[in-house]
Structure 1
């Protein structure tokens, strides 16, 4: 089986008599590595890599997803670096690639891309059986996912001051399509564009979703915004709707069971 990452780089299987030293710069990938049983090989993580809590608390932090501590990573002497095209800065990854032998780049854009992700990491790190278990669990959730009975134009908010949303080609937007929810598209070419509530194209939006991450929206934010814009506003778990990897399995169930307004 070909073990190509999101950049097309072919990766080799780690010899079974060798132990990897993995640094993950992606929260959802760190969780996936632990669910694959590789936590003892993860020697570094970002401060945003918070799941599974009891496991990752023993893994050293190396900064954030974008402001990583290069020298600290160097001292950890990793054999593998796990990154994501959206979440990590290219210049930082290029600098790390000068001394990390293997850089695995991820970029899931749809739920089905998780199958390839599971098998890529399972193949590289010799945990194919665990990766296939995850594939079966994900397929089961997809099979159980209800067919949407109607479509709804939505606006998924990830930040305020300034207000920011996601473009239609993101993992989040493609996940929401399974529910029949079509993400509003701005005129911007950015994947995470800013917007203004005075934009007339927002008039067709039927439902606003406030994500609990990366901005920590609260029920109070939802109530206040609903009064302001006079549209239904729902607070949603950002981890369930934006984290790919093993979190996508409960994420599908979460999305399917969200109460409609």
Structure 2
């Protein structure tokens, strides 16, 4: 009996010959992961936001964005597999694509430690388990170095900002917040904790709850000017951070763990 791999919604998928696979990825971090697993030749479609690694994605046809996909274009590509994410892709679109794509692989990593299982799912499906295990080894090594560093660092309360006008942050349930926890940073909770990405307003009460403000490079591209303004306004230290390193799961998480190690103090 062929080995089966289970995705985030408990769907089971059989191992597929990579030479016969035709994969469309609707998630930038998954596109990067599939390429790092050695499956670039099986990728026949990707979103315009799939930009890494640049030299390899350039040859893969674009099929729209993560939410506004071109269904007709995807149909014409005749994919055997579609890689999607619960947070990044809309269910109605995925349901429509599932009417003609035989295998829709659903992902939903919520914690940093979900990455090794994601490597094994994506690699194992196409007989690239050895490549997946190599990534797992790199991930575990980077995580151990960070853990050793974090153990010597002072825990801090942070507010990770992703947008302004309105100001928005992340909840404790997000992947970003879990990445922050890897270094000992505790995300400050906003009163409206029912939202994954709650809005907030600056106040002396809120500022008293934090030690550090983090301004992300995505989805809003904060600049040094924003950082300087907030430091004057709040009297708190502000760091500009690479949003990809904090929010991209998949193989980018390895670089992400190494990146946040640089903030150990």
Contact 2:4 2:14 in 1 (8 A): no
1:72 and 2:77 are equivalent in the alignment: no
CA separation of 1:153/1:47 partners in 2, compared to 1, >3 Å: closer, same or farther? same
Residues 132-162 of structure 1: CA deviation (Å, up to 9, x unaligned)? 1001111111121223332211011111111
RMSD: 1.5
| Alignment coverage as a number of residue pairs | 259
Residues 144-153 or 85-94, more deviating: 144-153
Q: Distance in 2 between matches of 1:47 and 1:228?
A: 37
Q: Secondary structure at the match of 1:197?
A: coil
Q: Structure 2 CA distance, aligned partners of 1:2 and 1:256?
A: 36
Q: CA deviation at 1:229?
A: 2.3
- TM-aligned CA deviation for residue 50 of structure 1: 0.3
Residues 161 and 139 of structure 1: CA distance in aligned 2, closer, same or farther (over 3 Å): same
After alignment, is 113-122 or 158-167 more displaced? 158-167
1:11 aligned counterpart, secondary structure: strand
Which residue matches 1:258? 263
**Range 179-188 or range 22-31, more displaced:** 179-188
Runs of 4+ in 1 over 6 A off after TM superposition: none
Task: Provide the residue aligned with 2:236 in structure 1.
Answer: 231
Out of 168, 176, 179, the position equivalent to 1:175 is 179
Match of 1:82 in 2: 83
Q: Of the candidates 136, 144, 150, which is equivalent to residue 147 of structure 1? A: 150
What residue in structure 1 maps to residue 111 of structure 2?
A: 110
Match of 1:49 in 2: 50
- Distance in 2 (CA, whole Å) between partners of 1:110 and 1:23 is 24
Does structure 1 conserve the Cα–Cα contact (< 8 Å) formed by 2:162 and 2:215?
yes
Match for residue 213 of structure 1? Answer: 218
TM-score (norm 2): 0.93
Report how far residue 228 of structure 1 moved: 2.2
Measured after TM superposition, the shift of residue 15 of structure 1 is: 3.5
Listed one character per residue, the Cα deviations across residues 171-195 of structure 1 (whole Å, up to 9, x for unaligned) are 1101110111001122321111111
Contact 2:25 2:46 in 1 (8 A): yes
Query: Corresponding residue for 1:12?
Result: 14
Partner of 2:250: 245
SS in 2 for 1:3: strand
Give the direction of change, closer, same or farther, for the CA distance of 1:199–1:89 in structure 2 (3 Å limit).
Answer: farther
Distance 1:193 1:66 in 2: 21
TM-score, length-normalised on structure 1? 0.94
Q: Which residue of 1 aligns with 2:197?
A: 192
| Contact kept in structure 1, 2:34 and 2:40, CA below 8 Å | yes
In structure 2, C-alpha distance between the alignment counterparts of 1:153 and 1:144, rounded to whole Å: 22
Paired residue secondary structure (2:119)? helix
